[in-house]
A = this chain, B = another copy of it.
Amino acid sequence: MTTVVLVGTLDTKGGEYAFLADRIREHGVEVLLVDAGIVGEPLATPDVTREEVAAAAGADVAALAAAGDRGAAVETMARGAASVVEGLYAEGRLDAIGGLGGSGGSALVTHAMRALPIGVPKLMVSTVASGDTTPYVGSVDVTMMYSVVDIAGINRVSARIIANAAGALAGMAKVTLPELGEEKPIVVASMFGVTTAAVTTARERLEELGYEVLVFHQTGAGGGSMEKLLASGFAVGSLDVTTTEFCDQVAGGVLAAVPERLESAGAAGLPQVVSLGALDMVNFGPRDTVPERYADRNLYVHNPTITLMRTTPDECREIARLVARKLNAANGPTVLFIPLRGVSAIATEGQPFHDPMADEALFSTLREELDTAKVEVHELELDVNDEAFALAMANRLHELLEARP
């Protein structure tokens, strides 16, 4: 039976969840209701009770409520709900997942959604869907439907929105995947505007060799999506040309790396070929949004909405230690390519971010910190976008993939 799982706080939103569940059933789809509320009695009858949800996180509802720490209780119920829906999915009892709520409910329910693989349909009806959705969507396919009105009772507006959500959930739950013909092995690749030439060359080479290449723009979320795909077994290897998100992590830019960046391939034992693409730049929005403390830095106004800042030798050393630590921890074949003539299209000689001191800080710290018993290092007298550099990376990754047992 096709089933939509709904996760929600049935103590405060029970009536709205019951309305959503009824609408879904009208489409001939089964509903499983998971209660993640803690305060009052559930206003709708759950199929998985809050006691079971708390237990899935190793906790006890009564104790959570008695402790009076709302933040901790919500966090625990979110973990429990994630564990419950992972279990339902593994048992084949979850074809889509949905929820509705304000900012608190959205945080709780989407936490559970993000535990499921990419491709499993996820829909959150939310009061906070028109704004920054990063905390809710993260790196995966959580679909956000703006509720327009508060989710507090069924009125003529909320009835229409929730009925639409029911249609979307039922429709997605019924989806069967189309045949795509021959399934080529997937390789992921990380790209930025200033490493486009490198990634394009490498991608074309890998496609020639029989791979399908998925390219991820390094926007913070983009790097996160790439890690998520590596962790969920979609891909066989990683061509991580562009590790630029570490600059934003270290210097407070707007496209910072997710915590698991550059770790998933290694954790899964997958072959990875890594480079230092765009480690010369920290990203900010319009010029007037660059923090005051950076007023005297080498800033480059790329366009009215993007301002770039050259990384310093100190920042480069910190980034190098971060990269080395992550690569040293990898369980799979790991190769680093160092482009001695420049890490981006604007870091080569004569370009605005050309800075041999900063580059040397980056390269020498890597030489000191990398465990060469585990990480194979290639230093090439080329810049990252040189065709020979890109081909060398692609070919080395192919060799590693061919050498797999």
Mark A residues whose CB is within 8 Å of B.
22-23, 27, 118-119, 121, 123, 127, 129-134, 137-150, 152, 154-157, 159-161, 163-164, 166-175, 177-178, 180, 183, 186, 212, 214-217, 219, 221, 225, 228-229, 234, 292
Contact = CB atoms under 8 A, between A and B. Distances in A.
Contacts of A154: 180
Contacts of A221: 130-131, 146
The complex is assembled from copies of this chain, and their number is: 2
A221 B121 CA distance: 26
List the 4 closest A-B pairs by CB distance, nearest first: A171-B171, A119-B160, A168-B168, A130-B137
Contacts of A167: 121, 168, 171-175
Contacts of A134: 130-131
Nearest to A23: B178
Contact of A157 (B133, B157, B172, B234): B234
Contacts of A133: 129-133, 144
A156 B234 contact: yes
A137 B129 contact: yes
A156 B232 CA distance: 13
A219 B148 CA distance: 12
A147 B225 CA distance: 10
Contacts of A177: 159-160, 163
A248 to B, nearest CB: 14
A228 B148 CA distance: 10
Nearest to A221: B130
Contacts of A138: 130
A145 B182 CA distance: 27
A127 to B, nearest CB: 8
Contacts of A144: 129, 133, 143-144
A172 B168 contact: yes
A122 B144 CA distance: 11
A157 B123 contact: no
A143 B141 contact: no
Contact of A214 (B23, B157, B173, B229): B157
Contacts of A146: 137, 140-143, 221
The interface centre, meaning the residue of A130, A147, A152, A156 with most chain B CB atoms within 10 A of its CB, is A130
B183 A156 contact: yes
The interface centre, meaning the residue of A147, A155, A292 with most chain B CB atoms within 10 A of its CB, is A155
B119 A164 contact: yes
The interface centre, meaning the residue of A145, A148, A175, A221 with most chain B CB atoms within 10 A of its CB, is A148
B171 A214 contact: no
Given A133-B133, A156-B234, 10 more contacts: A118-B161, A132-B132, A140-B148, A142-B146, A148-B225, A148-B228, A163-B175, A167-B171, A167-B173, A168-B168
Given A167-B172, A168-B168, A171-B27, A215 B150 contact: yes
A137 to B, nearest CB: 4
B118 A214 contact: no
Contact of A186 (B27, B156, B219): B156
